[in-house]
Each structure stands twice: as C-alpha cells, then as structure tokens.
Chains A and B, each alone.
Chain A
Amino acid sequence: MNRAIVRTAFVVGLAIASFPAAALLAQDGDTFAVQGATIHTVSDGTIENGTIVMRGGRIIAVGANVDIPAGAEIIDGTDKHVYPGMIDAFSQLGLTEIGAVPATNDMNEMGRFNPHLNAHTAIHPASEHIPVARANGITHTMAAPGGGGRGGGGGSGIRGQATLIHLDGWTVEEMEIEKSAAMVVSWPTLSSRGGFRRGPSRPFADVQREFDEQVEELDAWFVAAQHYKQATESGSSRLTRDLQLEHLSRVLDGGLRVIVQANDHREIESAVAFAEKWNLNLVIAGATGARDIAGMLAAKGIPVILGPVQRLPNGQDVAYDDANTLPGVLADAGVEIAFATFNSADSRTLPYEAANSVSWGLSQDAALEAITLGPARILGVSDRLGSLEVGKVGNVIVTDGDPLEITTEIEHVFIRGLPSDLDNKHKRSWEKYKNRPVKVKAVTTT
C-alpha cells in the first residue's frame, strides 16, 4: 500500500487555508509522529509498519514510506495501532454532571419549542465526564440538547441546536468544531405503553390522535418559519425579530441538518414524510424500530444515528438480539449508520456498543467506520474528521489493539494534532486509593 505518501506541504497549506474557522491551537512547528505502527486509515485501508505525521494541528503525512520532519516528537509505533479518534455522534457530554441533580443538568429547557437554543451556550469544558471519555479514545462528540434526563422537555418538540466539539480545550470556543451542527427534534411518540413514572397504558386511538395533533403543531412551526424567512428575504421593515423562527428557518430548503429522534417505524415514516414536505436535510436518531424500513431509508439516503446496542428489545415478543442485529440490517440495506451513547457518563463505552453488533452481522470495518468516518459524513465534517488522511485534523489515537475490544488500552490521544492529557477523575482516585497504606489493625491505646 504505497499510496498516500507524503503529499506536499502545499496541499497542507491549502487545507489549512480552506478551514479558517477551525481554531488550530497547535503552533505551526508542533510536530508529532507515530512511526512503525499499523495504521487503520478507515478511508483507505490499513498500512502495516506505517508512519503518521501531524504538524500544526493536522495530519501532514500517512504512509509506509514517510520522512519524519526534523524536530518531530516521535512515538515508537512497534506493535501499536493507530486509528482516527472516535466520535460519539449524539451525547450529553458537557451538558450534565450528575443525572439525579437537576442543578447540574442543562439538556432540557422549559417549553417544547426551542429552536433558538444552542448546546454551545451550556457546555461545561471542565466537566469531569470529558476527560473520562477522552481517555478511552473519544476525541469529539456532538453534544446535543434533549435526549432524556430531568427538567423540562418531555414529549415531542424542538429541542435546540447541537454543537460538535473536540473533547479538549480550555473554553468551548477552543473545543468547537461546528457551533451549530444540527437542529434536534423529538418526534411525537406512538407508544401507548405505560410504565414506571409514565402512568398507565392508554388506548392506541388516543395516542394516535395526540400524535397527529403534535405533528400538526410541528408543521405550524415550520409554516411560521417559512413565512418569517420569506418576510426577511423580502426586506420587510415591519418585521419584528423572532429568534425562534429565525433559527428554525435555517433548516428550510435543505439547510441546517435536522436530527429527528424517533424509534417506531411509523414515527420514522411520519418524520420522513414531514422532511420531504419541507425539504429537510434529515437524520434519524434512535431508530430502534427501523428494521422493516431499512430499504426506504437507504433509497432516500437518510442516515441513522443508532442508540446503545446494549439495550432491551422494544417489546415482550421482540427477539432477544434485536438491538444487536439492527445495525447490520441497516448497513446491509445501504443505510449510513453511526453509533452514539446519547449519554455522558457512558460515552467511553461507545466502541463496545459498536462491537456488540459485530457478531450479529455488521462487519468489523463497518462498526469502526460507524464511530469514525460514518458519523463525520452524517454530520457534514468528513472533509476534516473521521479518517487518517493528509489534511485532516489530527484527531488520532494510538492503541495496543482493536479499540472496539474492551481490554485494549488507549495509549495516546491526539486532539487537533496535540497530545491530550489522559488523566481523569477515575485514574486519580485509582492512584490515590490503590496506594492507601494497608490498614494496621487497631492497637488498643489506653
């Protein structure tokens, strides 16, 4: 595999010039190389005994025969593996600290229609969850409002905008990849089942009626957004600025991608019809019931962000391995998939969620792609992230094996071409308490 060998600095220069928005914190001279490793590019196969060089925040060379620039800090890659950093395509990282403490939760605002809100404004760069996820090779995530948790925001509605961030930085501005990566919408549900704190089961006819009403309500918001957009474009001087409609109108005409959280296939079909009516750039998140509509999603080119694979089947009579087999079914049908934890504390388990579909039909390569390049494509950043290619941002991990395997150690994490600190709250406690002096049995002192 003798391709992708050192392209010129000219290409790199171009790459940097074309993405001025990405704050590259690495200085031009900061050069790091991993030499003699197995390099899993994701985009273009595997390079045995290969070398990857990062400089100024970006990958400047990947290949079997690469000259390492003078002054580079070199990591010996013997018996090591290099992968793109993993992305948790839908998480609550930075938006919550302790689930049961509302004061620490900033995922769900009051009210059901909040298209003007942005996760960016609430991301806490010092959250202890971020270094925990990072230490296991998660280098970036889409932090999203909605997706459960306490506070307001139950039921359907427009949750707000999600922000794509690197999992390293002193401030959110340093972390930011895309301030507004998507508009998150929770689709109305057709679930009639009751449950703990959900109240009793309800007649399906009632649920269906409410569902239809809520879809109509969403439609009314889009009508309003369209009118607002038309009024704005016509330059009307009498227009009162409306932040909700201003932001919602960004999704019209194939603009800002809309991530719709929906599970049941009828909910997804409803969202797809809605998206077609409004010409939306649609992504489905959740999609636990998408099995029978995989062909439709593939044909329409609608990607899916799958929730945890380690979840229970959606009903008593659903196959025990329903969640394990779904990713393979979708991928085989041609649906672009990504995995996500929809969580914060569990974000580090992302690679294991992906792995849990591999023995059930998803290829290992596809599973890896679904936590690297796949989500980068879905979120519109595959020009910058998701694979080991010259010109891409240096989000790179060095491991002693397959990162989808539990026992694999993540030895180095580079974010934007700089080595990240792999220390975290858990490791500090481990170091402290494993070294607690052995307790001496109580001596009686009188």
Chain B
Amino acid sequence: MRRISLVALGLVASASGLVAQDAPVLIQGATILTAADAGKIENGSILFENGRIVAVGPASEINAPSNAVVIDGTGKFVTPGIIDAHSHIAAESINEGSITVSSMVSIMDVIDPTDIAIYREAAGGTTTSHVMHGSANPIGGNNAVIKHRWGADAQGLLFQGAPPTIKFALGENPKRSSTAGTGFPQRYPATRMGVMDVIRQAFAEATEYKAEWDTYNARVSGGDRSAIPPRRDLKLDPLVEILEGTRFVHAHSYRADEILQLMRVAEEFDFRIHTFQHVLEGYRVADEIAEHGAHASTFSDWWAYKVEAYEAIPYNAAIMTDRGIVVSINSDSGEEGRHLNQEAAKTMKWGGMDESQALAMVTINPAIQLMIEDRVGSLEVGKDADVVLWENYPLSSYAKVQTTYVDGEIVFDVDRDREMRTQMAAEKDRLREMLGEGGSR
C-alpha cells in the first residue's frame, strides 16, 4: 500500500517537473504551530519525506532517519504553508469583462509560471494560491488553485485535485462604477438590481439547460438509443456544475445588502454560495451568512478606497468568526500575498482572536474554503509537506521566513536567495560585457 502511494507520488512529482528530494528532512527543536488539534508544540520536530509529512510532535519523540537532512530549529518557528484564498498572481489575464457572464473562460488556461510573484510570495511563506478571475462581471470566469512550485510549468503549478471554483462579483465593480468615463465600454448592468438580475437570468437559463440534459441522460440510461443530446453550452456547463454541487462559487462582495441578496438568489435555485470574498460588511449579516452555510474570506484592515469599502472594519474577521463562519484573510495582491502572516496577526489586535484562530485565517481556514484541507493547511502526518520555517515568531510585524517548502521541496531559502543574487549579478555583468560596456541605450 505504502509502496504504491510513493510510486504514485513520484509520478506526480515528475509530471510537475520537480524531482522529489532524496533525503527526508527533519526540522528539530522548533516551536511548531500546527494549525491542527495538536496546537502549538514547543521544542517540536517535523519530519517530511517524498513530499509528505511523516511525523510531527515533541522533538524527543521523533528521531532522525540516518539519511535525513537535519535542520536545527532552535529558537525558530514552523507553520503550515500559507494559503491565499484570493490572488491574481501568475495569470496572463484576469478579467473577461466584455460580457456579463463569462463562465466559459478559465484562469487555468492562462497560468503564467514565470510570474516572479510566485517566488516573492513563497519568500513570505505562501505555498498555495487561489488565482481568481476578476470582478468585472456578475458571473466571472473559473479560477485556478496553484501551488507555488517556482520553476514548474503552467500545468505543474496546478493543485491537482482541488475542486473547481468560479468567481462571482457584486457591487461597484460589475456595475462598473469605477470605470465610468474612462473609455471602458459601458454595458448592463449599471445597478445592484441589474447585477442580481444577470445572475438570476443565468441560472434560469442553466436550470432549463440542466433539465434538457437530465431528460436526455434519463432516456439514455433507460436504454433509449434514439435520444439526441442537447447542444453543449460552455457558458452554462459550469453553472450546471454549481447547481449540481461540483463547482463552488466564490463571490466578490462588499455591502451587507448585496451579500444577503445573493444568498437569496442562490437559495431560489437551490445552491449555496460557497465563500464570500472581501465581504467587508460581512460583520453586519454574519448570522445570515452562517445560516446559509457560506464561508468568508476578507482583508485584514483595508478600508475607504471606495464607497462600498467605507464601512469596512478590521474587526470583521473576528465578528464573523465569533458568529460561526469559517473566515480567512486573503491578499488580492501580489504584495499583500507576501505577508499574510502579519495580516492574520491583525485579527489578534482587532477583535481579540487568539494565536491559533489568527493562524487558521491563513492556513487551515482557506484550505477548508478551497476544499483542500485533507491535503494542506495544517501540519499533520500524511499531509503535503508545505512547510514554512521562520526565523522568529510568525504572527508578528518582525516575522521573517528562513525556508519555504512545497511538497517537501525548497521553493525559497534565505541563504539560497543571497547566492542567486550573486550569480545573477555575475550574469548581468557578463551580458553587459557581451553588449559592450555601458550597453547600447
């Protein structure tokens, strides 16, 4: 059994262009924040091999295999790799904003594995990102979940097995308030009424389309060989998946009223909003969100950049957590995605979250929201070895990453980074020489 799974892992690793590290890695004697039931382990060790966590617990209980690379973790901290539930890095394009329903497009088709943000965020401990379509239209495109396997190709970055998701968007962006008069094309909808209408129309259409397919499938399974399949509609297919509960809605939202209305529209068609994104006024309808069964992914402390962000408060994550919602803190930015640990720490200051609640906001909670919590988001035996070794306490404005591992592979290391700088400087000098001193401006 074990042998088979290791072979399978090996195949995955080679397919993604990565070679699994030969020797097991043991980080010894660190403070380990597991984001799991084990909580915080002082003087703990973590052992990983072939991309998976093999052991995590008190240092005294975990011995180094003879071939292990042993890293002294004394005075240092270990956390799960950070998961960014809302990102726009590593994509060639973000918005198919020319139409109101762009569910036929997917970020998975435009992954850019050369985006340096993949590396820079790994340098801040981020190992998984939900790369989302933009917020230009009420129903946006399909998203991608990637791992920060810097150096892998587009296919190799994809988080295999992550359930499919789709972007919805409410409020000022889809009604194009901010682009009025800027040369961007004007189109329906221009109000929050219109935004809800676009979504309702789309699902009315999708419901009929689904019924056609259900009828057809019933006839086929009933042995009817004369059944003719309905014409495939690539726009409606993902919406049918939503209705069937196999594709999950992540809805960009700000105001409490639009959050409430979207839940009601979804309930009308008997599906659920899986996660509200931004959800800056979620604190005003937290019970309703909890009752609907949605998660919430918000910012730590951004506010006032537009009207619908003027009521944002940094206590939002705490209030929603207290009301029983699974809450994550996301970046929406290639800059913010480099210090989500610090953004999580802000929920301790604003709203009184404890250490494990704060850490969960950027590890296990976003993993739950992306439905990949059996693979990542906490340090538990059998999970992917997405591990961050910190030089100091991670939930701090002084936090600094030493090494980031994805699938047990080093994707960032502070010393290796210095070495690469020297190499890059030398290469630049060599290129300049080839061009002739001073370059050819």
Instruction: Determine if A3 is an interface residue (Cβ-Cβ < 8 Å).
Output: no
Take A100-B178, A359-B399 as given contacts and tell me if A345 and B283 are in contact as well, using a CB distance cutoff of 8 Å: no
Bound state CA distance, A303 and B322, in angstroms? 47
Take A99-B306, A100-B178, A100-B305 as given contacts and tell me if A429 and B311 are in contact as well, using a CB distance cutoff of 8 Å: yes
Bound state CA distance, A316 and B310, in angstroms? 34
Take A407-B395, A429-B283 as given contacts and tell me if A100 and B301 are in contact as well, using a CB distance cutoff of 8 Å: no
B349 near A407 with CB under 8 A, answer: yes
Smallest Cβ distance from A40 to chain B, in angstroms? 17
A320 near B120 with CB under 8 A, answer: yes
Instruction: Determine if A352 is an interface residue (Cβ-Cβ < 8 Å).
Output: yes
A320 near B123 with CB under 8 A, answer: yes
B51-59, B151-159, B339-347, B376-384: which lies at the A interface?
B339-347
Instruction: Determine if B315 is an interface residue (Cβ-Cβ < 8 Å).
Output: yes
Take A355-B397, A430-B351 as given contacts and tell me if A406 and B304 are in contact as well, using a CB distance cutoff of 8 Å: no
Interface bits B326-346 vs A (CB < 8 Å: 1, else 0):
000000001110110010011
Interface bits A328-350 vs B (CB < 8 Å: 1, else 0):
00000000000000001110110
Instruction: Determine if A247 is an interface residue (Cβ-Cβ < 8 Å).
Output: no
Across-interface contacts of A352 in B (CB, < 8 A): 342, 397
Across-interface contacts of B336 in A (CB, < 8 A): 310
Take A98-B310, A100-B178 as given contacts and tell me if A438 and B287 are in contact as well, using a CB distance cutoff of 8 Å: yes
Interface bits A199-235 vs B (CB < 8 Å: 1, else 0):
0000011000000000000000000000000000000
Segment 387-434 of B: residues with Cβ below 8 Å from A = 391-392, 395-400, 417, 421, 424, 428
Across-interface contacts of A358 in B (CB, < 8 A): 398
Bound state CA distance, A439 and B291, in angstroms? 9
Smallest CB gap from A317: residue in B: B424
Instruction: Determine if B213 is an interface residue (Cβ-Cβ < 8 Å).
Output: no
Instruction: Determine if B218 is an interface residue (Cβ-Cβ < 8 Å).
Output: no
Across-interface contacts of B392 in A (CB, < 8 A): 359
Bound state CA distance, A439 and B417, in angstroms? 52
Instruction: Determine if B23 is an interface residue (Cβ-Cβ < 8 Å).
Output: no
A429 near B315 with CB under 8 A, answer: yes
B120 near A356 with CB under 8 A, answer: no
Take A312-B334, A426-B313 as given contacts and tell me if A406 and B287 are in contact as well, using a CB distance cutoff of 8 Å: no
Instruction: Determine if B441 is an interface residue (Cβ-Cβ < 8 Å).
Output: yes
Segment 13-42 of A: residues with Cβ below 8 Å from B = none
Smallest Cβ distance from A348 to chain B, in angstroms? 8
Instruction: Determine if B276 is an interface residue (Cβ-Cβ < 8 Å).
Output: no
Take A359-B398, A406-B342, A430-B315 as given contacts and tell me if A316 and B305 are in contact as well, using a CB distance cutoff of 8 Å: no
Instruction: Determine if A278 is an interface residue (Cβ-Cβ < 8 Å).
Output: no
B335 near A312 with CB under 8 A, answer: yes
B304 near A351 with CB under 8 A, answer: no
Smallest CB gap from B122: residue in A: A320
B397 near A351 with CB under 8 A, answer: yes
Bound state CA distance, A439 and B284, in angstroms? 11
Segment 404-446 of A: residues with Cβ below 8 Å from B = 404-409, 425-426, 429-430, 433-434, 436, 438-439, 441
Take A310-B335, A430-B319 as given contacts and tell me if A405 and B304 are in contact as well, using a CB distance cutoff of 8 Å: no
Interface size on A, residues (CB 8 A): 47
Across-interface contacts of B349 in A (CB, < 8 A): 406-409
A433 near B396 with CB under 8 A, answer: no
Across-interface contacts of B315 in A (CB, < 8 A): 426, 429-430, 434
Smallest Cβ distance from B127 to chain A, in angstroms? 15
Bound state CA distance, A429 and B399, in angstroms? 30
Across-interface contacts of B269 in A (CB, < 8 A): none
Instruction: Determine if B302 is an interface residue (Cβ-Cβ < 8 Å).
Output: yes
Take A429-B313, A430-B351, A441-B291 as given contacts and tell me if A100 and B441 are in contact as well, using a CB distance cutoff of 8 Å: no
B123 near A405 with CB under 8 A, answer: no
Bound state CA distance, A169 and B346, in angstroms? 28
Smallest CB gap from B314: residue in A: A426
Take A321-B123, A433-B319, A441-B291 as given contacts and tell me if A98 and B396 are in contact as well, using a CB distance cutoff of 8 Å: no
B345 near A312 with CB under 8 A, answer: no
Instruction: Determine if B27 is an interface residue (Cβ-Cβ < 8 Å).
Output: no
Across-interface contacts of B338 in A (CB, < 8 A): 310, 320
Smallest CB gap from A308: residue in B: B335
Instruction: Determine if B25 is an interface residue (Cβ-Cβ < 8 Å).
Output: no
Instruction: Determine if B348 is an interface residue (Cβ-Cβ < 8 Å).
Output: yes
Bound state CA distance, A356 and B400, in angstroms? 9
Bound state CA distance, A319 and B61, in angstroms? 39
Bound state CA distance, A205 and B439, in angstroms? 14
B306 near A101 with CB under 8 A, answer: yes
Across-interface contacts of A351 in B (CB, < 8 A): 397
Bound state CA distance, A201 and B116, in angstroms? 19
Smallest CB gap from A426: residue in B: B313
Take A355-B397, A406-B396, A429-B313 as given contacts and tell me if A310 and B306 are in contact as well, using a CB distance cutoff of 8 Å: no
Across-interface contacts of B311 in A (CB, < 8 A): 429
Smallest CB gap from B342: residue in A: A406
Bound state CA distance, A408 and B182, in angstroms? 43
A405 near B319 with CB under 8 A, answer: no
Across-interface contacts of B178 in A (CB, < 8 A): 100
B345 near A407 with CB under 8 A, answer: yes
Q: Which of A204, A346, A406, A425 contacts B397 (CB 8 A)?
A: A406
Bound state CA distance, A435 and B346, in angstroms? 21
Smallest CB gap from B345: residue in A: A406
Across-interface contacts of A274 in B (CB, < 8 A): none
Take A426-B313, A429-B315, A433-B319 as given contacts and tell me if A406 and B348 are in contact as well, using a CB distance cutoff of 8 Å: yes
B397 near A97 with CB under 8 A, answer: no
Bound state CA distance, A260 and B338, in angstroms? 29
Instruction: Determine if B288 is an interface residue (Cβ-Cβ < 8 Å).
Output: yes
Instruction: Determine if B271 is an interface residue (Cβ-Cβ < 8 Å).
Output: no
Instruction: Determine if B6 is an interface residue (Cβ-Cβ < 8 Å).
Output: no
Bound state CA distance, A436 and B287, in angstroms? 9
Smallest Cβ distance from A197 to chain B, in angstroms? 8
The residue among A320, A405, A439 with the most chain B CB atoms within 10 A of its own CB is A320
Smallest Cβ distance from A431 to chain B, in angstroms? 9
Segment 293-323 of B: residues with Cβ below 8 Å from A = 301-307, 309-311, 313-315, 318-319, 322-323
Smallest Cβ distance from A350 to chain B, in angstroms? 11
Across-interface contacts of A348 in B (CB, < 8 A): 301
A100 near B400 with CB under 8 A, answer: no
B348 near A407 with CB under 8 A, answer: yes
Bound state CA distance, A366 and B37, in angstroms? 40
B307 near A430 with CB under 8 A, answer: no
Across-interface contacts of B287 in A (CB, < 8 A): 436, 438-439
Across-interface contacts of A97 in B (CB, < 8 A): 304, 310
Across-interface contacts of A113 in B (CB, < 8 A): none
Smallest Cβ distance from B128 to chain A, in angstroms? 18
Instruction: Determine if A55 is an interface residue (Cβ-Cβ < 8 Å).
Output: no
B391 near A344 with CB under 8 A, answer: no
What are 15 sample pairs from A and B whose C-beta atoms fall under 8 A apart? Answer: A99-B305, A100-B178, A310-B339, A312-B335, A317-B428, A319-B421, A344-B304, A345-B302, A351-B397, A352-B342, A404-B397, A408-B349, A426-B315, A430-B283, A430-B319
Besides the known contacts A128-B304, A408-B349, 20 further A-B residue pairs in the complex with CB atoms under 8 A apart: A98-B307, A99-B305, A101-B307, A204-B441, A345-B305, A346-B302, A359-B392, A406-B342, A406-B345, A406-B395, A407-B348, A407-B349, A425-B313, A426-B314, A429-B283, A429-B315, A430-B350, A433-B284, A434-B319, A434-B322
CB-based closest 6 A-B pairs:
A439-B287, A355-B397, A100-B306, A359-B400, A430-B315, A345-B304
